[in-house]
Amino acid sequence: MKNNLDLHIPVLLPEVLNFVKSCNFEQFSYLDATFGRGGHALEINKLFENLKIIAVDQDMEAIEYGKQLFAEKEKNEEIVFIHSNFSKINGYKSLINNFVNNTGISFILADLGVSSPQLDDAERGFSFYKEGPLDMRMDHSQSLTASHIVNEWSEEDLIELFITKGEVRRPQKVVDKIITRRKIKKFESTDDLSYLIEDCLGWRKKGQHPATHFFLALRLEVNKELEVVENSIESLLDLLAPGGLLLVITFHSLEDRIVKYKFKELAEAKGKILTKKVVQASWEDKKKNKRARSAKLRVFERGAYVI
């Protein structure tokens, strides 16, 4: 089994550990809403004896990896794995409550987006640097893929998608080319699309592939990432014990804005925001880990009362 740090370096790790160490409970439990390669889970597990972990991921590969990584802990019934989108967490409430003896969860981490192994595996179709099928699903059991969007969506819908989720100011030129090209031959691979965008726009920003924002928009749409965050924060908060923490790590401005405003909206009824200023990685960590450069952490503490 490959070392998980070779696969994925957890971002904002010291900052996350500092927050969870500040919690005060007799028995600790942790829900990892985005288990990935268990980078955060492994380090958090070292801090607490007999920590109960609920590991959630919508990618079966992450779950399979976790089962090997924590085989001993699973045998000791200290970890359960849930292969699901965390937006469906309410459906697992009784399983979770039984597992933690109805004490509520001490802390929940949602480290959003894709993992390095997902990005690095050409077959998953997330990267414009690797040729693979134009797929981008985190969960292979769902049917919507990036190629469906690119090949089937109307001109108007593609334009709206690239503006709203990719924050591309003028996507018309690229969309025109997509429409012309797909009449002759459908898009099948990541290269089909990334070369077309590169041809159409050229390299404008040093170090940033011209397809970056188009690929981001497609990935967000395929996995409904923004809608999931918006609609799940309250359900996650409701699983916490009073005094428990919800930590959310985002990687781009649209996602961060949703978390920021959702936390504000819920602060009066559910608890308080611990990160008045968003937490970012140290300069050293940003140098070591490219993904850490855009990572932002926000933390919410569940209040002692329930409404």
Ligand X SMILES: C[S@@+](CC[C@H](N)C(=O)[O-])C[C@H]1O[C@@H](n2cnc3c(N)ncnc32)[C@H](O)[C@@H]1O
Q: Which residues sit at the interface with ligand X, rule CB under 6 A?
A: 8, 10, 34, 36-40, 56-59, 62, 85-87, 111-115, 138, 228
How many Å apart are CA 168 and CA 161, to the nearest integer? 9
If the CB atoms of residues 11 and 201 are measured against ligand X, the closer one turns out to be 11
What is the Cα–Cα distance from 204 to 97, expressed in whole angstroms?
A: 52
**Residue 9 Cβ vs ligand X, minimum distance, rounded to whole Å:** 8
Nearest distance from C-beta of residue 86 to ligand X, angstroms: 4
Which residue's CB is nearer to ligand X, number 170 or number 288? 288
247 φ/ψ angles, rounded to the nearest 5 degrees: -110, 125
Token digits of residue 271: 């608890």
Instruction: Name the one residue in this structure whose structure tokens are 């001109």.
Output: 155
Amino acid identity of 11? V
DSSP secondary structure code for residue 206 in this structure: T
CB 58, min distance to ligand X, A: 4
- To ligand X, the closest distance from the beta carbon of 108 in angstroms equals 12
Nearer to ligand X, 29 or 223 (CB): 223
Shortest Cβ distance from residue 29 to ligand X (Å)? 17
Q: Strand 29-32 vs strand 271-273: parallel, antiparallel, or unpaired?
A: unpaired
In the complex, minimum distance from the CB of residue 142 to ligand X, in angstroms, rounded to a whole number: 11
Task: Report in angstroms the alpha-carbon separations of 238 from 16, 51, 91, 260.
Answer: 20, 20, 13, 18
Q: Closer to ligand X by CB, 162 or 251: give it.
A: 251
Min dist CB 113 to ligand X, Å, is 5
Q: Indicate the residue among 138 and 168 with the shorter CB distance to ligand X.
A: 138
Whose tokens are 């040093």? That residue is 206
Residue type, 117: P
- Closer to ligand X by CB, 150 or 236: give it: 236
Considering the complex, state which of residue 96 and residue 158 has its C-beta at the smaller distance from ligand X.
96
CA pair distance 270, 293, nearest whole angstrom: 31
Distance CA 28, CA 99 (A): 12
Burial string for 176-197 (b: 16+ CB within 10 Å, else e) reads: eebeebeeeeebebbbbbbebb
For residues 39 and 13, give the distance between their C-alpha atoms in angstroms, rounded to a whole number. 9
Torsional sign, CA 136, 141, 147, 152: negative
